[in-house]
């Protein structure tokens, strides 16, 4: 077998593999032994057909094609061993010709990460400032959450809530038809159609109005886009919002443990500050990772990018609680092809993959490890609030090899990011056990 490494590009090795006649013949023998067990040829028992008869019956080309197809795995293993390559996935294979049998293979290789001098990075987190107006807005929202709606005898205004009967159709098809529907009038609302809220403003209790509105050309539901809808509404009741007073009674409604409105305000202030600090920390960590990636050289094969893209899309679908059928319906509604939808996620996938690879290299450089005791502590923390009767089941679930691997990776990532936070905020330049800049490369034997 002659193996030629044509080039390495984008962390893929391009190989040309030409088989010796003896290797092809060995493959043909194995193909014959496979196919003869399946052949039903008159006058011969199954498995007893001589090879010349079988070749005449199915054709020599068919026998050779079977041999070439089944030899791929063995040829691939020998080729990467010959060239001292470390593949991370199965190759793309193309049969270039049959005489002599010649394969073209594109072999995905391990990524290469050359970290910059990350020990010289110096970054400062944003300070968190909580303004009094932020607290006031939060308290105002609490008042709204506990507000009551009172019937009024006047015309409909913006921000009112109305009880109405509604009849509507799009062409000959019924659209929304409901008695005693509750609807909040909000200017510029696009529900159920842009302009609907505005048509209600000025109406009085008991008044009926008929009007027509058109759906936008790019409306999310293609069957309605650009079409005209006819509406008939009758106002049954008009209600206005009455905000409750910000007092001790409201504080007790929010939480019985609160005795005064000051208790409520202190809790709101604490929560807002904790949330702001958590966001500032996430933003700072993201800034560190962005800078780390920017100062590093990272190469990876396309297969890793596609895998990360698939993972990201699948994660989003789970978050949306959407299956393949639901996704198809969603794409139809927004008039996008699966390819367009996929490409929208590609920049995020590339960013995520680069950060993951960089974090892995920093973990190696900083000698960050996860021990069995760390996993045990993590499981204990995750299950400490679970009732005893269910805890054993969850512990067993978290102790499964796949769960342990995922948990270990998460712990390592968390510790690595924490280590990077220490480094970028240290007053003087630090050095890890490995000299910086850290460079990790694969060494492949060139053809």
Specify the pLDDT at position 149: 95
At 329-343, the pLDDT tens digits run 778 777 788 899 899
Of 1 and 334, the structure prediction assigns the larger pLDDT to 1
At 248-263, the pLDDT tens digits run 999 999 999 999 999 9
Mark whether 94 and 161 lie in a shared domain.
no
Mark whether 85 and 170 lie in a shared domain.
no
Length of the chain: 447
Specify the pLDDT at position 428: 63
Instruction: Point out the least confidently predicted range of 22-36, 388-402, 410-424.
Output: 388-402
Mark whether 13 and 98 lie in a shared domain.
yes
Provide the pairing of β-strand 148-151 with 101-108.
unpaired
Mark whether 236 and 187 lie in a shared domain.
yes
Provide the number of structural domains found in the chain.
Answer: 2
Containing domain of residue 8, as a range?
Answer: 2-110
Specify the pLDDT at position 368: 95
Specify the pLDDT at position 177: 96
At 157-203, the pLDDT tens digits run 999 999 999 999 999 899 999 999 999 999 999 999 999 999 999 99
- Report how many helices (DSSP H) and strands (DSSP E) the chain contains, helices first: 14, 13
Mean pLDDT within 376-397: 87
Instruction: Point out the least confidently predicted range of 267-276, 302-311, 381-390.
Output: 381-390
3-state secondary structure 428-445: CCCCCCCCCCCEECCCCC
Mean pLDDT within 341-369: 96
Mean pLDDT within 127-133: 92
Specify the pLDDT at position 437: 42
**pLDDT of 292 over the 80 cut:** yes
**Cα–Cα dist 296/239, whole Å:** 60
At 206-216, the pLDDT tens digits run 999 999 999 99
Specify the pLDDT at position 321: 82
Mark whether 93 and 155 lie in a shared domain.
no
Mark whether 155 and 102 lie in a shared domain.
no
Specify the pLDDT at position 336: 81
Q: What pTM did the predictor assign?
A: 0.77
Is 7 contained in some domain? yes
Mean pLDDT within 265-290: 96
CATH number of the domain within which 106 lies: 3.30.70.1050
Cβ atoms of 217 and 205 closer than 8 Å: no
Is 405 contained in some domain? no
Cβ atoms of 108 and 304 closer than 8 Å: yes
Gyration radius of the chain's alpha carbons: 34
**Cα–Cα dist 317/268, whole Å:** 34
Is 363 contained in some domain? no
CATH number of the domain within which 219 lies: 3.10.50.40
Mark whether 99 and 174 lie in a shared domain.
no
Mean pLDDT within 134-163: 95
At 413-444, the pLDDT tens digits run 999 999 999 999 987 654 444 444 444 343 34
Domain boundary among 87, 110, 133: 110
Domain boundary among 84, 110, 136: 110
**Cα–Cα dist 199/209, whole Å:** 9
Instruction: State the average pLDDT for the chain.
Output: 91
**Cα–Cα dist 46/35, whole Å:** 10
Specify the pLDDT at position 436: 42
At 113-123, the pLDDT tens digits run 999 999 999 99
Mean pLDDT within 42-51: 88
């Amino acid at each position: 077998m002659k193996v030629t490494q044509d080039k390495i590009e984008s962390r893929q090795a391009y190989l040309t593999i030409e088989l010796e006649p003896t290797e092809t013949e060995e493959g043909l023998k194995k193909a014959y032994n496979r196919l003869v067990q399946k052949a039903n040829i008159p006058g011969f028992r199954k498995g007893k057909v001589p090879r010349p008869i079988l070749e005449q019956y199915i054709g020599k080309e068919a026998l050779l094609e079977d041999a070439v197809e089944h030899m791929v795995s063995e040829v691939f293993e020998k080729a990467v061993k010959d060239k001292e390559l470390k593949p991370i996935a199965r190759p793309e294979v193309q049969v270039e010709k049959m005489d002599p049998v010649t394969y073209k293979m594109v072999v995905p290789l391990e990524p290469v990460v050359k970290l910059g001098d990350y020990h010289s990075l110096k970054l400062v987190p944003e300070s968190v400032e909580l303004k009094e107006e932020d607290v006031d807005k939060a308290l105002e929202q609490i008042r709204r959450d506990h507000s009551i709606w009172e019937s009024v005898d006047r015309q409909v205004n913006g921000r009112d809530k109305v009880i109405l009967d509604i009849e509507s159709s799009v062409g000959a098809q019924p659209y929304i038809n409901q008695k005693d529907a509750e609807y909040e009038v909000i200017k510029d609302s696009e529900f159920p159609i842009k302009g609907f809220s505005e048509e209600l403003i000025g109406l009085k209790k008991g008044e009926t109005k008929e009007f027509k509105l058109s759906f936008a050309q790019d409306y999310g539901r293609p069957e309605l886009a650009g079409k005209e809808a006819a509406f008939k509404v009758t106002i049954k009741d008009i209600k206005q919002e009455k905000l409750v007073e910000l007092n001790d009674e409201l504080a007790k409604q929010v939480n019985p443990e609160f005795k005064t409105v000051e208790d409520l305000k202190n809790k709101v202030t604490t929560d807002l500050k904790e949330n702001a600090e958590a966001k500032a920390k996430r933003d700072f960590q993201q800034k560190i990772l962005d800078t780390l990636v920017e100062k590093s050289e990272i190469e990876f094969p396309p297969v890793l990018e596609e895998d990360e893209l698939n993972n990201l899309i699948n994660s989003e679908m789970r978050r949306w609680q959407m299956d393949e059928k639901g996704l198809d319906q969603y794409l139809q509604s927004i008039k996008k092809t699966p390819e367009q939808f996929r490409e929208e996620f590609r920049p995020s996938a590339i960013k995520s993959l680069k950060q993951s690879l960089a974090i892995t290299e920093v973990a190696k450089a900083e000698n960050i490890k996860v021990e069995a005791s760390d996993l045990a502590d993590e499981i204990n923390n995750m299950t400490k609030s679970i009732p005893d009767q269910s805890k054993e089941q969850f512990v067993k679930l978290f102790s499964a090899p796949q769960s342990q691997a995922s948990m270990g990776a998460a712990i390592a990532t968390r510790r690595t990011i924490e280590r990077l936070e220490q480094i970028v905020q240290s007053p003087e330049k630090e050095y890890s056990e490995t000299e910086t800049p850290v460079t990790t490369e694969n060494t492949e034997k060139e053809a």
